[in-house]
Structure 1
Amino acid sequence: MTDTMQSHLADHHHNVTDMLRDAGLRPTRQRVSLAELLFSQGDRHISAEILHEEAVQADVPVSLATVYNTLHQFTEAGLLREVAIDGTKTYFDTNVSDHHHFFVEGENVVFDIPADGVGIGRIPAAPEGMEVVRVDVIVRLRHKRKR
């Protein structure tokens, strides 16, 4: 996310419109409403279902399918980062910087690992005609069992 986009997050409503335009997205009413819900609470990891619930509670008339489509559009535009867990659960991260995640099994909670918390010594060379875009590390957690 550019410095311009981040500064837009500070002032909100009309700046959400500017942020969407800067990202190459038309600021429709639904996109603006969803962006306000997403970006008004600082860095967060959210599923489409949770964002849909928040939209319903905020009286934003939007279907779950539209929420999914919008989250994917925001991700393609560089406003969000997709964090896939097991291929069955996907979270969207408002922090698009390079970082890794903890996942608490059984609670469906995702949170950031501090920037210096993971060191990657070696990754394989990309196959011919390909390039490595990013390396995602997800460290799975569970509460210790009492003995």
Structure 2
Amino acid sequence: MTENAAVHYRCTDVSDMLRQAGLRPTRQRVSLAELLFSKGDRHISAELLHEEAVGAKVPVSLATVYNTLHQFTQAGLLREVAIDGTKTYFDTNTSDHHHFFIEGENKVVDIPGEGVGIGSVPKAPAGMEVVRVDVIVRVRPKA
């Protein structure tokens, strides 16, 4: 578990969680964090979070949702999962793990446990370091 993920689980409220992650707990950040983290581990797009916010009567624009999700990601509270460079999901589980992408449903789910083995990782280019290896396994219902 990352240090920031550990902070998330120790916090008693989202304002405290945001402060411990180095973010000022503005009204919009607190409202979005409550929507994000109150339902356990999940994968959510900015559009879906915006829909949830509108449904919860949180006055926030889609642009603010995007900005807030990226701020949460930079602070280590979320993990970004990019699918084909066209669709991005945000994962509240920041631990090292991999994902299934269910085609046709546009849904991301965690691959349980040690479901993926990585034999070797190429050496990073000069002056660079490998930060993380993300594996996304695309699945669909059998025909």
Q: TM-score, normalised by structure 1?
A: 0.93
Partner of 1:3: 6
Report the alpha carbon displacement of residue 106 of structure 1 after superposing the two structures with TM: 1.1
Partner of 1:56: 54
- Kindly tell me the number of residue pairs found equivalent between the two proteins: 140
Report the alpha carbon displacement of residue 2 of structure 1 after superposing the two structures with TM: 4.2
Report the alpha carbon displacement of residue 114 of structure 1 after superposing the two structures with TM: 1.1
Report the alpha carbon displacement of residue 18 of structure 1 after superposing the two structures with TM: 0.5
**Counterpart-to-counterpart distance in 2, 1:67 and 1:2:** 21
Percent of paired sites with the same residue: 79
**Counterpart-to-counterpart distance in 2, 1:110 and 1:74:** 19
Partner of 1:81: 79
**Counterpart-to-counterpart distance in 1, 2:141 and 2:5:** 37
Question: Could you tell me which of 35, 38, 52 is aligned with 1:37?
Answer: 35
Q: TM-score, normalised by structure 2?
A: 0.96
1:109 maps to a residue whose letter is K
* Over 6 Å off, 4+ runs: none
Partner of 1:117: 115
Instruction: Answer whether contact 2:5 2:76 (CA < 8 A) is retained.
Output: no
Larger RCO: Structure 1 or Structure 2 (Cα < 8 Å, ≥ 6 residues apart)? Answer: 2
SS in 1 for 2:50: helix
Partner of 2:139: 141
Instruction: Answer whether contact 2:5 2:94 (CA < 8 A) is retained.
Output: no
SS in 2 for 1:38: helix
